[in-house]
Structure formats: C-alpha cells, structure tokens
Amino acid sequence: MPGKRLTLYRLIYALGLILWGALTAYLLSLADQFSLTLISIRFASTLVIVWLMSGVGLLLVAVINLARSRRLARHRLRQLQAMASALNEGIIWVNSRGKVLWHSDPAADLLDARGELDPQAADLLDRAGETGRTLLQTIPIGEAGRSLQAIPLERGTYALICRPVQASASQNTFYENFIRRIVHDMRNPLAAIIGHASNLSQSSADDPESWRRSARTIEDEAQRLTRLVDSMLFDARLAYVPLQLQPLDLADLLEEAVYAQDERALREGKTLQVEAPSSGRVVRGDRDLLVRAFENLIDNSLKYSGANGRLQIRLEDVNGVYRIQFMDNGEGIPPDYLPDRIFEPLVRARSHGSGSGLGLSIVRKIIEMHGGTITAQSRVGVGTTMTIDLPKSEG
C-alpha cells in the first residue's frame, strides 16, 4: 500500500543515516589515534574543479526541485481535500482491501468507531473490485438513506461517493409546466366528481355498504382518469414537439432516474442497484424524454414488486449498441401480453393495477424516437427484464 511503502522507505533511510554516522565516527577516531589520512583529493587542473562543482550544483538543484515538487503535491492534495470536504456529497478514498485512506466529513456516517467501512458499503466495494465497473446502490444508513457509488481508480484504489437520498427529485421544465397548466384546467370537473364521491361514501341509505363501495369505485376511477389525462397529454407532446438532441452520458441519465425513485424504494423496503461503466457511454438524445422513460420502467418495477423487491439496472456495450437492462423480481407479465402487446396503448396486464395503460407505450415511443428498441422477457411470479438497445453517438 502507498502509505506502508512510504513508511518503510523512511525507516530504511533513517537506519542508513545512523549506520553511516556511526561508521564515520569510528573512522575519525582511528584517524586521530594513528594519524591516518582518510581521504586525499588532488585535482589535476582547475577545469576538473569546475566540472566537480558543476556536478554538485546540478545535484543540489535536482534535490531542491524534488523537495519543491513533493511540497506542491502535498499542497494540491490538501486543496483537493478541502474542496471535497466543502461538498454535500461524502467522499471516501479506499484501497483494494477496503482500508480507508481518506474521507470527507459528510461521509463519516459510513464509518464505524474504528474507522472501518459499513458492511453494506464494503460489500458494494467488493463487487466493484470484482467487476471493475462503477456500481450504484441505495442503502439505508443513518437517519436517511444514502445513494452510494463505488468508482474504481488507478493503482487498485477506489472512490466511494455518498449522496443523501433526495426528498424530491422532480425537475421543472418548460414542457412539464405547460402540461401542468393544461391539466389543472381539466382537473376541475374531476375534482368535483371526487368530492361528491367522498360525500356519497358518508351518506346513509338502505344499503350503506353498497353506497360506500360504489362511492369508492367512482373515486378510484376518477383518480385513474386523472392519471390517464396526464399520460395522454405527454403522449400527445411526443407527436409535435421536436427532440432536443445533445450528447448525453447514459450512466448520468440512469443515476438521475434512480435518484428520483430512491426515497420511495427505501421507504418501501426495496432495492435499486445500477451497474454501469464510469463514463464514456455517450448517445445523442433528449435528456427529459430518456429520463422519463427510465423512470417509468423503475416505477413499474417498484409498483409490481413485493416488500423485498429488487431492481438491478445494467448498462453495457453489446454488438455495437448500448444495452440497458431493467431486471426485477416482481409479479411478472402474463404470457398473453408478450412480446409486443404489453407495449400497446391502453393495455394493462394487471386488472388490479392503478396505471393508465400508456406508460410502456410511451417508453417504447421515446426509445424508438432515439433509434433504439425495447423488448420484454418475463415469467409470472419470477420477474421481468426490460431490455433497451440504443445506438452509439457518432459524434
């Protein structure tokens, strides 16, 4: 390890100085006792003296430059540590064996009293070491959850970046505000229906239970209609609003989608995990649309999984495209809806679900607008894998 090697070098250097000093003192004592001349130097000419002094001078300059370089390196390291400490994200620098080399203050809750990593963080680090890939996972640490990212670095070291779970990851864009204004006007009559349904559920009649059951049905369907209107407006937007294309890193988009759902996953006792390369997976796309598609897939996995639900998202290069897989252990999709029917508008594979039936059709439309494809594989009671292939950016 770097720190241990430096300590060993210093110990050897100190022992060498002590031995050299002792030998020098012994030789000087012999010279005094027997009137010996230890060293006798004669220069053949003045040119030799100039040559020797020039060499000594160059050696001194090299030593001074080395010392200055080391001081500058330490100064820069202190500056980087100061900047890292000023960030809200916690940063931990560890070696391949999980020993903490340095950490910022916001990351202190990832360490125990002995300064060792939390077991869940250590497990994430081990998996990053085995795969050599950047891993992202939300884990419950402290009073709130943490999104922990393990990044392999050079020389067998790793960076652990710890971010607090965001209470709200929604991002107000022009299009979202535009849709909200339209939906607000359309929701007024729906709000009245919901209000009357709530009043009806408290009314007395010959069969009060039937009244309450009917009222609850009206209320549920009205709320479902509201969600349907939301999806329809977004789907309509895809038809007339051009793509805002720009170079995008897929790993960043996946992180953004996960951060929008990690609080909910933590609250429901479910696990979100991202396995992706550190960087370099660039596509040309519309950030808002791609994040919306990824969030829809994450939302479906969380909605239709049990208390121990788990969603693993994997990004990799496969046959000249970027492949993103969303693999969950949820209820699964009945065979009648595979492989394509599940992506058709207004199709709902689960009668007990609360979705509008437009979510997956919107996802497919977004992916196809970016020149990609999406497929579904599923087994009832085992889980579902949604696979997205996106073309690589040519620029």
Q: What is the DSSP letter of 38?
A: S
H or E element in which residue 395 lies: none
Residue 388 pLDDT greater than 90, yes or no: yes
**Nearest CA among 330, 335, 376 for reference residue 353:** 330
**Nearest CA among 327, 240, 318, 251 for reference residue 283:** 251
pLDDT at 69: 74
Q: Which residue has the higher pLDDT, 124 or 51?
A: 124
- 115-161 per-position pLDDT tens digit: 788 888 888 888 888 888 888 777 766 555 667 888 888 777 888 88
- 157-169 per-position pLDDT tens digit: 888 888 766 544 4
pLDDT at 3: 46
pLDDT at 314: 94
- Name the percent of the chain lying above pLDDT 90: 18
Residue 290 pLDDT greater than 70, yes or no: yes
H or E element in which residue 288 lies: helix 287-303
Residue by residue, DSSP assigns 89-123 as SEEEEE-TT--EEEE-GGGGGGB-TTSPBPHHHHH
* Alpha carbon distance 272, 295 (integer Å): 12
Residue 84 pLDDT greater than 50, yes or no: yes
* Alpha carbon distance 388, 382 (integer Å): 20
If you average pLDDT over every residue of the chain, what do you get? 76
pTM (predicted TM-score):
0.56
pLDDT at 166: 53
Best mean pLDDT range from 36-45, 158-167, 242-251: 242-251
Q: Which residues contact 103 (CB under 8 A, 6 or more apart)?
A: 90, 91, 92, 93, 110, 111
Q: Which residue has the higher pLDDT, 249 or 238?
A: 249
Instruction: Give the strands of the sheet with 158-164, arranged side by side.
Output: 100-103, 90-94, 158-164, 145-152, 134-140, 271-276, 310-318, 321-328, 383-391, 373-379
Decide if 258 contacts 298 (C-beta within 8 A): yes
* Alpha carbon distance 329, 343 (integer Å): 20
Q: How far is CA 8 from CA 1, 12, 63, 154, in A?
A: 11, 6, 21, 22
Q: Evaluate the omega torsion of the peptide bond into residue 339 and state whether it is cis, within 30 degrees of 0.
A: yes
Q: Which residue has the higher pLDDT, 113 or 362?
A: 362
Q: Which residue has the higher pLDDT, 291 or 178?
A: 291
pLDDT category at 171 given cuts 50, 70, 90 is very low
Mean pLDDT of the region 269-279: 86
Bridge partners of 150? 135, 160
Q: Which residue has the higher pLDDT, 111 or 43?
A: 111
Residue 233 pLDDT greater than 80, yes or no: no
* Alpha carbon distance 317, 315 (integer Å): 7
* Alpha carbon distance 8, 116 (integer Å): 23
Q: Which residue has the higher pLDDT, 362 or 173?
A: 362
